[in-house]
Chains A and B, each alone.
Chain A
Amino acid sequence: DTQMTQSPSSLSASVGDRVTITCRASQSISSYLNWYQQKPGKAPKILIYAASTLQSGVPSRFSGSGSGTDFTLTISSLQPEDFATYYCQQSYSAPTFGQGTRLEI
């Protein structure tokens, strides 16, 4: 199984900040990496797939990069609605998720 490790586990930031979350795979997964946002009591929402493709309707302040084993999710200028938990997920094999990064004020 491919293990996914996110860092940091939690992150404090302010509106307007630039934030980066990293995700590392235990083996190479090419660009088969997705990012999700989850707010309390809600289902996850896809933000980025194939490492860097923005899902339709997702604001352009979200971006993704990386390939192989190391990936990043960047939010260029935090908005109040971005405070949530973020998960990476590999789709190279049977899906596995990172442990999540809680983004808080």
Chain B
Amino acid sequence: EVQLVESGGGLVQPGGSLRLSCAASGFSFSNYWMHWVRQVPGKGLEWVSRINPDGSRTKYADSVMGRFTISRDIAKNTLYLQMNSLGDEDTAVYYCARYALDKRTGLYYYYMDVWGKGTTVAVSS
């Protein structure tokens, strides 16, 4: 079964750090771009970060640039999100998602086809 399972969320004080993990199973993890997406309770989805299949290219939302680092361990089939200098605005459910690809005559259509159940991060003193 294709599956993503997040872990590492919890309560952290402002200015603190946390590392989220996303364990992948049931597919060739090393073949896919992967993303982190977050959602403040009761609010919409916010894309956070992405990483390419071999881990050499990353990109971040402006809201987390310089504070968060995405990485992956191919041998462990695990995606990570290191979060530093956390603030109240980072309180959210964090999802990891797989970016599937549909290739059509030179066009590349990507979409998030597999999601984890999410892990909750609460930043509070």
Interface residues in chain A, defined as those with a beta carbon under 8 Å from any beta carbon in chain B: 1, 31-32, 34, 36, 38, 42-46, 49-50, 53, 55, 87, 89, 91, 94-100
Interface of A is mostly: loop
- Interface Cβ pair total, 8 Å cutoff: 65
Question: Does any Cβ of A come within 8 Å of B27's Cβ?
Answer: no
* Contact across chains for A36 and B44 when beta carbons are under 8 A apart: no
Interface of B is mostly: strand
Q: Which of A91, A97, A99 contacts B111 (CB 8 A)?
A: A91
A–B Cβ pairs within 8 angstroms, 10 of them: A43-B116, A43-B118, A44-B45, A44-B112, A44-B115, A50-B111, A53-B109, A94-B59, A95-B35, A96-B47
Which bucket holds chain B's interface residue count?
20 to 34
Q: What is the CA–CA distance of A88 and B62 in the complex, to the nearest angstrom?
A: 20
